[in-house]
Structure 1
Amino acid sequence: MTIGGPDFVSFQVRDLDASARFYADVVGMTRIPVPNPHAAAFSDGTTTFAVRTPVEGMDLDAGDLGRGVGVWFRDPDAAGLHTRLADAGVPITVAPVDGPFGFTFAFADPDGYTVTVHERA
Protein backbone atom coordinates (compact mmCIF):
# COMPACT_ATOMS: atom_id res chain seq x y z
CA MET A 1 0.00 0.00 0.00
CA THR A 2 1.25 3.48 -0.89
CA ILE A 3 0.14 6.56 0.95
CA GLY A 4 -1.09 9.43 -1.22
CA GLY A 5 -0.42 13.11 -0.87
CA PRO A 6 -2.37 15.43 1.39
CA ASP A 7 -6.08 15.51 0.67
CA PHE A 8 -7.09 17.83 3.51
CA VAL A 9 -5.34 20.79 5.14
CA SER A 10 -6.65 22.95 7.98
CA PHE A 11 -5.48 25.99 9.90
CA GLN A 12 -6.37 26.53 13.55
CA VAL A 13 -7.62 30.14 13.75
CA ARG A 14 -8.52 32.72 16.40
CA ASP A 15 -11.74 33.97 14.77
CA LEU A 16 -13.53 31.35 12.66
CA ASP A 17 -16.03 33.75 11.08
CA ALA A 18 -13.38 36.32 10.15
CA SER A 19 -11.10 33.67 8.64
CA ALA A 20 -13.98 32.06 6.74
CA ARG A 21 -14.93 35.45 5.27
CA PHE A 22 -11.28 36.19 4.40
CA TYR A 23 -10.81 32.96 2.45
CA ALA A 24 -14.22 33.20 0.74
CA ASP A 25 -14.53 36.92 0.07
CA VAL A 26 -10.94 38.16 -0.22
CA VAL A 27 -9.05 35.11 -1.51
CA GLY A 28 -12.03 33.84 -3.51
CA MET A 29 -12.19 30.21 -2.41
CA THR A 30 -15.40 28.20 -2.81
CA ARG A 31 -16.97 27.39 0.55
CA ILE A 32 -18.58 23.98 0.95
CA PRO A 33 -21.02 22.78 3.61
CA VAL A 34 -19.56 20.89 6.56
CA PRO A 35 -21.31 19.24 9.50
CA ASN A 36 -18.73 20.59 11.98
CA PRO A 37 -19.83 23.90 13.58
CA HIS A 38 -16.19 24.53 14.54
CA ALA A 39 -14.95 24.65 10.93
CA ALA A 40 -15.44 26.31 7.56
CA ALA A 41 -14.26 24.31 4.55
CA PHE A 42 -13.37 25.20 0.99
CA SER A 43 -12.75 22.98 -2.03
CA ASP A 44 -11.92 23.18 -5.70
CA GLY A 45 -13.15 19.61 -6.17
CA THR A 46 -9.78 17.98 -5.51
CA THR A 47 -8.26 19.04 -2.20
CA THR A 48 -10.21 20.41 0.74
CA PHE A 49 -8.92 23.24 2.90
CA ALA A 50 -10.49 24.38 6.17
CA VAL A 51 -10.17 26.91 8.93
CA ARG A 52 -11.28 25.76 12.33
CA THR A 53 -11.33 26.69 15.97
CA PRO A 54 -8.23 25.50 17.81
CA VAL A 55 -8.09 21.93 18.98
CA GLU A 56 -8.19 21.53 22.74
CA GLY A 57 -4.95 22.61 24.38
CA MET A 58 -3.60 24.56 21.40
CA ASP A 59 -2.32 28.03 22.25
CA LEU A 60 -2.38 30.14 19.08
CA ASP A 61 -0.32 32.82 20.80
CA ALA A 62 2.53 30.48 21.77
CA GLY A 63 4.70 31.14 18.71
CA ASP A 64 4.86 31.37 14.96
CA LEU A 65 1.83 29.62 13.49
CA GLY A 66 2.73 27.12 10.78
CA ARG A 67 6.45 27.63 11.24
CA GLY A 68 8.30 25.13 9.10
CA VAL A 69 5.23 24.07 7.09
CA GLY A 70 4.68 25.30 3.54
CA VAL A 71 1.11 25.39 2.24
CA TRP A 72 0.79 26.11 -1.48
CA PHE A 73 -2.32 26.71 -3.54
CA ARG A 74 -2.49 26.69 -7.33
CA ASP A 75 -4.40 29.43 -9.11
CA PRO A 76 -4.19 29.75 -12.90
CA ASP A 77 -4.64 33.51 -12.38
CA ALA A 78 -2.12 33.89 -9.54
CA ALA A 79 -1.18 37.36 -10.82
CA GLY A 80 -4.82 38.47 -10.63
CA LEU A 81 -5.14 37.08 -7.11
CA HIS A 82 -1.94 38.88 -6.11
CA THR A 83 -3.38 42.18 -7.37
CA ARG A 84 -6.70 41.64 -5.54
CA LEU A 85 -4.97 40.75 -2.26
CA ALA A 86 -2.50 43.63 -2.44
CA ASP A 87 -5.32 46.07 -3.28
CA ALA A 88 -7.27 44.74 -0.27
CA GLY A 89 -4.30 45.45 2.01
CA VAL A 90 -3.42 41.79 2.62
CA PRO A 91 0.26 41.52 3.60
CA ILE A 92 2.31 40.08 0.73
CA THR A 93 5.13 38.23 2.51
CA VAL A 94 7.02 37.06 -0.57
CA ALA A 95 7.06 39.35 -3.59
CA PRO A 96 6.04 37.81 -6.91
CA VAL A 97 8.64 35.85 -8.85
CA ASP A 98 8.53 33.91 -12.08
CA GLY A 99 9.84 30.57 -10.88
CA PRO A 100 9.55 26.88 -11.72
CA PHE A 101 5.83 27.00 -10.90
CA GLY A 102 5.20 30.15 -12.91
CA PHE A 103 4.04 33.35 -11.21
CA THR A 104 4.48 32.71 -7.48
CA PHE A 105 3.97 34.85 -4.37
CA ALA A 106 3.02 34.43 -0.70
CA PHE A 107 0.64 36.28 1.60
CA ALA A 108 -0.20 36.28 5.30
CA ASP A 109 -3.73 35.43 6.39
CA PRO A 110 -5.48 37.10 9.38
CA ASP A 111 -3.75 34.73 11.83
CA GLY A 112 -0.32 35.18 10.26
CA TYR A 113 -0.16 31.88 8.39
CA THR A 114 1.94 32.18 5.24
CA VAL A 115 0.20 30.87 2.12
CA THR A 116 2.07 30.52 -1.17
CA VAL A 117 0.18 30.76 -4.47
CA HIS A 118 1.52 29.63 -7.84
CA GLU A 119 0.02 29.44 -11.31
CA ARG A 120 1.27 26.12 -12.75
CA ALA A 121 0.84 22.53 -11.69
Structure 2
Amino acid sequence: MQTRLDFMSVQVRELDVSREFYTRALGFELAEQSPPGAAVFRDARGATFALRSLLPRTDPAQAFGVGVSLWFAVDIGAAHARVLAGGGRALTQPGPFGPMFVVQDPDGYQITLYQP
Protein backbone atom coordinates (compact mmCIF):
# COMPACT_ATOMS: atom_id res chain seq x y z
CA MET A 1 0.00 0.00 0.00
CA GLN A 2 1.31 3.43 -0.94
CA THR A 3 0.40 6.26 1.40
CA ARG A 4 0.53 9.99 0.75
CA LEU A 5 -0.75 12.97 2.66
CA ASP A 6 -3.94 14.12 0.97
CA PHE A 7 -5.27 16.73 3.38
CA MET A 8 -4.50 18.27 6.75
CA SER A 9 -6.16 20.73 9.07
CA VAL A 10 -5.22 22.52 12.26
CA GLN A 11 -7.56 23.85 14.91
CA VAL A 12 -7.43 27.55 15.70
CA ARG A 13 -8.85 29.72 18.46
CA GLU A 14 -10.31 32.43 16.21
CA LEU A 15 -11.03 31.34 12.67
CA ASP A 16 -11.47 34.89 11.30
CA VAL A 17 -8.11 36.04 12.71
CA SER A 18 -6.27 33.00 11.36
CA ARG A 19 -7.99 33.17 7.95
CA GLU A 20 -6.87 36.80 7.65
CA PHE A 21 -3.27 35.91 8.62
CA TYR A 22 -3.02 33.03 6.13
CA THR A 23 -4.43 35.13 3.27
CA ARG A 24 -2.86 38.53 4.00
CA ALA A 25 0.55 37.64 5.46
CA LEU A 26 1.15 34.28 3.79
CA GLY A 27 -0.68 34.85 0.51
CA PHE A 28 -2.79 31.69 0.48
CA GLU A 29 -6.01 31.67 -1.51
CA LEU A 30 -9.23 30.30 -0.12
CA ALA A 31 -10.80 27.39 -1.97
CA GLU A 32 -14.13 28.15 -3.61
CA GLN A 33 -16.03 26.41 -0.82
CA SER A 34 -15.34 25.79 2.84
CA PRO A 35 -17.64 23.98 5.24
CA PRO A 36 -19.05 25.87 8.23
CA GLY A 37 -16.39 26.44 10.89
CA ALA A 38 -13.48 26.01 8.49
CA ALA A 39 -11.36 27.88 5.95
CA VAL A 40 -10.03 25.61 3.21
CA PHE A 41 -7.02 26.66 1.15
CA ARG A 42 -5.78 25.13 -2.11
CA ASP A 43 -2.43 25.72 -3.79
CA ALA A 44 -1.57 25.71 -7.50
CA ARG A 45 -0.67 22.01 -7.38
CA GLY A 46 -4.03 21.08 -5.85
CA ALA A 47 -2.80 20.43 -2.31
CA THR A 48 -5.34 21.40 0.31
CA PHE A 49 -5.23 22.25 3.97
CA ALA A 50 -7.70 23.84 6.33
CA LEU A 51 -7.99 25.91 9.43
CA ARG A 52 -10.95 24.98 11.56
CA SER A 53 -12.68 26.15 14.68
CA LEU A 54 -12.27 24.03 17.78
CA LEU A 55 -13.90 20.64 17.55
CA PRO A 56 -16.41 19.93 20.33
CA ARG A 57 -14.12 17.33 21.92
CA THR A 58 -11.21 19.77 22.22
CA ASP A 59 -10.24 21.33 25.52
CA PRO A 60 -10.00 25.07 24.75
CA ALA A 61 -7.24 25.42 27.35
CA GLN A 62 -4.91 23.06 25.47
CA ALA A 63 -1.72 24.44 24.02
CA PHE A 64 -1.94 25.34 20.34
CA GLY A 65 1.01 25.19 17.99
CA VAL A 66 2.92 22.66 20.10
CA GLY A 67 4.31 19.70 18.22
CA VAL A 68 3.16 20.83 14.78
CA SER A 69 5.33 22.47 12.15
CA LEU A 70 3.92 23.30 8.73
CA TRP A 71 6.22 23.57 5.68
CA PHE A 72 5.20 25.30 2.44
CA ALA A 73 7.24 25.66 -0.76
CA VAL A 74 7.29 29.30 -1.93
CA ASP A 75 9.28 31.94 -3.81
CA ILE A 76 11.31 32.90 -0.75
CA GLY A 77 12.00 36.57 -1.59
CA ALA A 78 8.37 37.38 -2.37
CA ALA A 79 7.13 35.37 0.63
CA HIS A 80 9.44 37.15 3.10
CA ALA A 81 8.36 40.58 1.84
CA ARG A 82 4.68 39.59 1.94
CA VAL A 83 4.89 38.24 5.49
CA LEU A 84 6.45 41.46 6.76
CA ALA A 85 4.07 43.70 4.77
CA GLY A 86 1.10 41.65 5.98
CA GLY A 87 1.92 42.12 9.65
CA GLY A 88 3.56 38.74 10.16
CA ARG A 89 6.68 38.26 12.21
CA ALA A 90 9.58 36.18 10.97
CA LEU A 91 11.13 34.07 13.74
CA THR A 92 14.19 33.51 11.55
CA GLN A 93 15.56 35.34 8.53
CA PRO A 94 16.16 33.71 5.14
CA GLY A 95 19.41 31.68 5.10
CA PRO A 96 22.16 30.86 5.92
CA PHE A 97 21.17 27.18 5.60
CA GLY A 98 19.34 27.60 2.31
CA PRO A 99 16.39 29.66 1.21
CA MET A 100 13.97 29.30 4.13
CA PHE A 101 12.57 31.15 7.11
CA VAL A 102 10.08 30.50 9.90
CA VAL A 103 7.02 32.53 10.90
CA GLN A 104 4.50 31.97 13.67
CA ASP A 105 0.74 32.16 13.12
CA PRO A 106 -1.74 33.67 15.62
CA ASP A 107 -2.11 30.31 17.42
CA GLY A 108 1.62 29.65 17.74
CA TYR A 109 1.98 27.19 14.85
CA GLN A 110 5.44 27.51 13.33
CA ILE A 111 5.37 27.73 9.55
CA THR A 112 8.54 27.14 7.57
CA LEU A 113 8.51 28.80 4.18
CA TYR A 114 11.21 27.40 1.92
CA GLN A 115 12.25 27.50 -1.69
CA PRO A 116 12.90 24.01 -3.07
Q: Give TM-score, length-normalised by structure 2.
A: 0.85
Q: Which amino acid aligns with 2:66?
A: R
Which runs of 4 or more aligned residues in structure 1 lie more than 3 Å from their structure 2 counterparts after TM superposition?
none
- Consecutive unaligned residues of structure 2, counting only runs of 5 or more, are none
Q: Which has the higher contact order (CA 8 A, sep 6+)?
A: 2
Q: Percent identity?
A: 36
CA deviations over 1:50-86 (Å, ceiling 9, x no partner): 11001122234322x23233210001x2122112212
CA pair 94-36 structure 1, distance change in 2 beyond 3 A: same
Q: Distance in 2 between matches of 1:46 and 1:7?
A: 10
Partner of 1:86: 84
Q: How does 1:7-86 map to 2 (within 5 A)?
A: 7-44=6-43, 45-63=45-63, 65-75=64-74, 77-86=75-84
Q: Distance in 2 between matches of 1:34 and 1:109?
A: 23
Count residues with an aligned counterpart: 115
Partner of 1:114: 110
* Higher strand proportion (structure 1 or 2): 1
CA pair 32-9 structure 1, distance change in 2 beyond 3 A: same
Given the alignment, which residue of 101, 110, 113 partners 1:105?
101
Q: Distance in 2 between matches of 1:80 and 1:22?
A: 16
Q: Distance in 2 between matches of 1:109 and 1:15?
A: 11
* Preserved contact between residue 13 and residue 60 of structure 1 (Cα < 8 Å): no
Give the aligned CA root-mean-square deviation in angstroms: 1.8
